[in-house]
C-alpha cells in the first residue's frame, strides 16, 4: 500500500466492500452437488460475503423448504407442543422474548435463546461453547439433550422418524430434498435440512444498511447518525466486539483468511469479589475449567436488536437503555442478594469494557443508531415464515 494511502475506519472499510460487491450484483450462484437441483442462488444483502457451506451439505431449494417445515413443526418434540420456532420466533428475529428459554417439558433453560439471523456466518454456535461449530450437529442438542430438556426426544429417534414418515407433506418434501435415496427419513437428513434453512436466514436490509450501501441519507435520523459516530469511537469501544458487516467480531465466510473466535467477560457479575459468575452460567469456563474463562461469552450480533430483548446470555438486562448504562458504568453493580457484586471490578473483565460517560442526548443518539439496525423485511419475509396451516401443524 502506498505510504500516502489513508487509514480507513471500520465504517469506511464496510462502505468500500459493500460498493465493490454490489458492482457484480448481490446474487451469487453456488453449485450444490448431487442432493437436488443444479444450483442454489444466494440472495445476499449488499456488502455481504458468501457464507461457507459444508461440502457434505450443499444448499438446495428443496432442502431449505424441508428444513422450514421441520423448523416450525411441533412433531419435533416429545409431546408435540414445541418446535424450533417456539424459541426462535421470526417476528423477534428468531429469538423468543424471554430471559431464559422454556423446553417442551417446561424445564427452564439456563440461558437466553440466541437469534438465528446470519447464523451462516458464525464459526461457533451457542453462547459459550467453542466446540459447537456445525449447525448440523448443533441441531441434535435441543432435540436429544437431557440437561436441559428442550425438545425431549432422547431415546425416541425411531419414533420421531416414524411419526414424520406418516405425514403426506413430508413424504413429498423428503423425496424432493434427497432424491435417489430409498428411505430419506433419517436423523442426518433432518439435521441437514434444518441447518440449510437456518443458513438461509440472512438479514442485512435495515435502515442503516440502506443509509450505508445506497447513500440514502433519509434512511436513518440525524440522531442515529450521531449515534453511529459514538458506536465506532474509541471512547465507547462498542465496535471492537460488535464491528463488521454483522456487528459481531466472530464471523467466517468464503475468502476469509484468519477466523477470530472471541469470548468476553463484560462485568455482568462479580460474585464474592472474586470474579465468579452464577452457576451454571460460567461461560467458556464451564467447558474449559480454566479460571481465566470465567464469565466469557460470545458477543452476539447487534442486528435486529430492537426486537431481541431481553439482552445478555441470561436475559438479565431488559432494555437497550439498561444495556448502554451497563457498558457506560464499565460493568453492572448488584447491590444485594445472592448475586451481589461490583461487575466493574471483575478481575476477568475484558479490557474493552472500561466505562465511559455520555450525556442524555448521546445516550438517545446511541439508542437511535442501535434501533436502526433492525431489518423489518427480514422479520416479515414469507420465505422464512411458518408454512403449516394452523390446523395441520403437529397433527
For the segment 304-357, what is each residue's pLDDT rounded down to a tens digit? Answer: 999 999 999 999 999 999 999 999 999 999 999 999 999 999 999 999 999 999
161 and 231 housed in the same domain:
no
How would residue 32 be classed by pLDDT, with cut points 50, 70 and 90?
Answer: very low
Give pLDDT, residue 392.
63
241 and 191 housed in the same domain:
no
User: Taking Cα atoms as reference points, which of 203, 209, 164 lies closest to residue 187?
Assistant: 164
Give pLDDT, residue 244.
95
141's CB contacts (< 8 A; 6+ apart) are 132, 150
Give pLDDT, residue 39.
73
How would residue 215 be classed by pLDDT, with cut points 50, 70 and 90?
Answer: confident
- At residue 218, φ and ψ (nearest 5 deg) are -85, -5
pLDDT of residue 78 exceeding 70: yes
pLDDT of residue 22 exceeding 80: no
Domain that holds residue 89: 29-203+378-384
342 and 227 housed in the same domain:
yes
Domain membership of residue 10 (yes or no) is no
Give pLDDT, residue 31.
37
192 and 233 housed in the same domain:
no
DSSP reduced 3-state for 236: coil
- Between CA 103 and CA 111, with CA 107 as vertex, the angle to 5 degrees is 75
Domain membership of residue 38 (yes or no) is yes
- Grid cell listed for 28: 451469487
What single string gives the DSSP state of each residue in 82-123?
--HHHHSBGGGTTB-SSSS-B-TTSPBPSSPPPP-TTGGG-S
Question: Model-level pTM?
Answer: 0.89
CB-based contact 264:250 (threshold 8 Å): no
Domain membership of residue 18 (yes or no) is no
* Helix intervals (H) in 278-372: 285-288, 320-328, 360-371
Domains in the chain: how many in total? 2
Domain membership of residue 262 (yes or no) is yes
CATH of the domain at 115: 1.10.760.10
How would residue 395 be classed by pLDDT, with cut points 50, 70 and 90?
Answer: low
Domain membership of residue 392 (yes or no) is no
172 and 254 housed in the same domain:
no
pLDDT digits (tens, 9 = 90+) for 257-293: 888 899 999 999 999 999 999 999 999 999 999 999 9
78 and 138 housed in the same domain:
yes
If residue 43 lies in a helix (H) or strand (E), which one and from where to where?
strand 39-43
318 and 191 housed in the same domain:
no
Domain membership of residue 213 (yes or no) is no
Share of the chain above pLDDT 90, in %: 86
Cis-peptide into 15, omega within 30 deg: no
Domain membership of residue 348 (yes or no) is yes
Give pLDDT, residue 122.
97
131 and 236 housed in the same domain:
no
91 and 160 housed in the same domain:
yes
User: Taking Cα atoms as reference points, which of 238, 380, 375 lies closest to residue 320?
Assistant: 238
224 and 366 housed in the same domain:
yes
126: left (phi over 0), alpha (psi -120 to 50) or beta: left
pLDDT of residue 20 exceeding 50: no
Burial zone of 86 (CB within 10 Å; 0-12 exposed, 13-18 middle, 19+ buried): buried
Domain membership of residue 277 (yes or no) is yes
CB-based contact 203:93 (threshold 8 Å): yes
98 and 235 housed in the same domain:
no
DSSP 25: -
CB-based contact 263:284 (threshold 8 Å): yes
231 and 340 housed in the same domain:
yes
How many C-beta atoms surround the C-beta of residue 156 within 10 A?
16
Amino acid at each position: 500500500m502506498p505510504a500516502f494511502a489513508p487509514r480507513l475506519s471500520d465504517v469506511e472499510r464496510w462502505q468500500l466492500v459493500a460498493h465493490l460487491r454490489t458492482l457484480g450484483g448481490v446474487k451469487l450462484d453456488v453449485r450444490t452437488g448431487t442432493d437436488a437441483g443444479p444450483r442454489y442462488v444466494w440472495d445476499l444483502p449488499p456488502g455481504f460475503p458468501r457464507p461457507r457451506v459444508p461440502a457434505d451439505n450443499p444448499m438446495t431449494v428443496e432442502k431449505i423448504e424441508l428444513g422450514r417445515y421441520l423448523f416450525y413443526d411441533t412433531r419435533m418434540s416429545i409431546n408435540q407442543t414445541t418446535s424450533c420456532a417456539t424459541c426462535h420466533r421470526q417476528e423477534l428475529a428468531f429469538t423468543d422474548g424471554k430471559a431464559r428459554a422454556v423446553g417442551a417439558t417446561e424445564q427452564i433453560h439456563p440461558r437466553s435463546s440466541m437469534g438465528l439471523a446470519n447464523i451462516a456466518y458464525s464459526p461457533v454456535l451457542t453462547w459459550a461453547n467453542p466446540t459447537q461449530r456445525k449447525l448440523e450437529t448443533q441441531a441434535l442438542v435441543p432435540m436429544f439433550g437431557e440437561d436441559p430438556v428442550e425438545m425431549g426426544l432422547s431415546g425416541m429417534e425411531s419414533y420421531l422418524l416414524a411419526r414424520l414418515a406418516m405425514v403426506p407433506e413430508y413424504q413429498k418434501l423428503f423425496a424432493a430434498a434427497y432424491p435417489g435415496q430409498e428411505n430419506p427419513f433419517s436423523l442426518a437428513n433432518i439435521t441437514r435440512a434444518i441447518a440449510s434453512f437456518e443458513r438461509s436466514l440472512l438479514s442485512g436490509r435495515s435502515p442503516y444498511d440502506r443509509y450505508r450501501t445506497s447513500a440514502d441519507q433519509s434512511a436513518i435520523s440525524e440522531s442515529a447518525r450521531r449515534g453511529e459516530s459514538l458506536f465506532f469511537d474509541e471512547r465507547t469501544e462498542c465496535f471492537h466486539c460488535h464491528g463488521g458487516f454483522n456487528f459481531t467480531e466472530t464471523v467466517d465466510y468464503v475468502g476469509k483468511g484468519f477466523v477470530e473466535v472471541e469470548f468476553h467477560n463484560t462485568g455482568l457479575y462479580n460474585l464474592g469479589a472474586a470474579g465468579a459468575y452464577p452457576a451454571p452460567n460460567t461461560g467458556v469456563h464451564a467447558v474449559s475449567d480454566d479460571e481465566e474463562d470465567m464469565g466469557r461469552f460470545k458477543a452476539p450480533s447487534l442486528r435486529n436488536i430492537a426486537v431481541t430483548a431481553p439482552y445478555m446470555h441470561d436475559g438479565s438486562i431488559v432494555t437497550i437503555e439498561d444495556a448502554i448504562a451497563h457498558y457506560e458504568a464499565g460493568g453492572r453493580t448488584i447491590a444485594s442478594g445472592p448475586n451481589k457484586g461490583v461487575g466493574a471490578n471483575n478481575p476477568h473483565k475484558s479490557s474493552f469494557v472500561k466505562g465511559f460517560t455520555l450525556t442524555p442526548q448521546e445516550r438517545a443518539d446511541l439508542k437511535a443508531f442501535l434501533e436502526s439496525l433492525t431489518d423489518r423485511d427480514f422479520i416479515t419475509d414469507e420465505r422464512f415464515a411458518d408454512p403449516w396451516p394452523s390446523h395441520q401443524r403437529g397433527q
